[in-house]
Amino acid sequence: MAQLIDGKRLSNQVLQDVACEVERLRSEHNVVPTLAVVLVGEDPASQVYVRNKVKRAKEAGMGSILHRLDAGTTQGELNRLIDRLNHDSQVHGILVQLPLPSHLDEDEVIAAINPAKDVDGFHPLNVGALAAGQASLVPCTPQGCMIMLHRVMPELRGKHAVVVGRSNIVGKPMAALLLQADCTVTMAHSRTQEIESLCRNADIVIAAAGRPGLVGADWIKPGATVIDVGINAVEVEGTRKLVGDVAFDAVSRTAGAITPVPGGVGPMTIACLLLNTTRAARQQLASLAPPRPSVSCP
């Protein structure tokens, strides 16, 4: 049976590190890392996600401010709020919960966020920095997946990873991080042919397609590591249940290590959001510090 990669336990370890860094920033610099979360409209899933993010931030000793905006908020009103948060020195991270109502332009909103406060890592400058292998605020879900992978595979160099899904928020940044870790990366998507045999050759399969149970046991090489990013609500015998993109029971018998849903990637995503917020606070502090003299003074 595959080793279970316990996202709850791992995320608690990340959150403990975050809480220590929050305490250091407070005691050494009198800074309380603060996350501003913007929620537009009444999407029920988004409300749950946002509540969780704010709750976890408080538990880690961070500041968190929730801006709830009416579903009819205009682009101008939203842009003005982002602009205000960009200039608020008490706010270190800004997260706009997606999806936005259809009359709002998500790309415009993401581009309006100060890249130094873009704790989701979606701003084009941060996307470019990641693609170029430079330090940046990295999207939270793929960052969490990398922490999980490192736990069970200390050496990633030369491993063949298949990423199923090519979205901007999961698949593409995931592939960039795996490349940075010296994996050989194949990206698969809805138009990929012979996806099963591609996956069967992989040492690592990252499933991020949003298709319940897509990845079956016959897709997985014995001993491979399987990270299930999918979160899909399905009805089982009249009860609503959350499942991943991986047929967990069957794949557990073939894989070497596997993440569950729920309790896998989900908790890691929130932990990495808070990690990014402390990193953003630290970087903003450094950018305020007076420049060091380049030569020693007499």
Binding of residue 169 to ligand NAD (CB under 6 A):
yes
Among 188, 204, 271, 281, binds ligand NAD (CB under 6 A): 188
Contact 163, 171 (CB under 8 A): yes
Which tokens in the block code for residue 206?
A: 């990252």
| Terminal Cα-to-Cα distance of the chain (whole angstroms) | 66
Stretch that binds ligand NAD, among 8-16, 26-34, 174-182, 187-195 (CB under 6 A): 187-195
Contact 54, 34 (CB under 8 A): no
Binding of residue 145 to ligand NAD (CB under 6 A):
no
Q: Tokens 């969490």 appear where?
A: 144
Smallest gap from Cβ 264 to ligand NAD, in A, equals: 7
Smallest gap from Cβ 244 to ligand NAD, in A, equals: 8
Is 166 annotated in a binding site? The answer is yes
Binding of residue 170 to ligand NAD (CB under 6 A):
yes
Of these residues, 53, 117, 159, 221, which one is catalytic? 53
CA torsion sign for 158, 142, 228, 15 is positive
* Known active-site residue 8: no
* Known active-site residue 143: no
Is 165 annotated in a binding site? The answer is yes
Instruction: Give the integer Cα–Cα distance in Å for 244 and 140.
Output: 18
Is 94 annotated in a binding site? The answer is no
Of these residues, 117, 118, 120, 245, which one is catalytic? 120
CA distances from 175 to 109, 186, 196, 207, 246 (A): 25, 8, 18, 12, 19
* Residue closer to ligand NAD, measured from CB, 115 or 264: 264
Binding of residue 121 to ligand NAD (CB under 6 A):
no
Which tokens in the block code for residue 110?
A: 């993401």
- Pairing assessment for the beta strands 225-228 and 232-236 based on DSSP bridges: unpaired
Among all residues, which ones are annotated catalytic? Answer: 53, 97, 120
By CB under 6 A, name the binding residues for ligand NAD.
141, 164-167, 169-171, 188-190, 195, 208-211, 214, 229-232, 265-266, 269
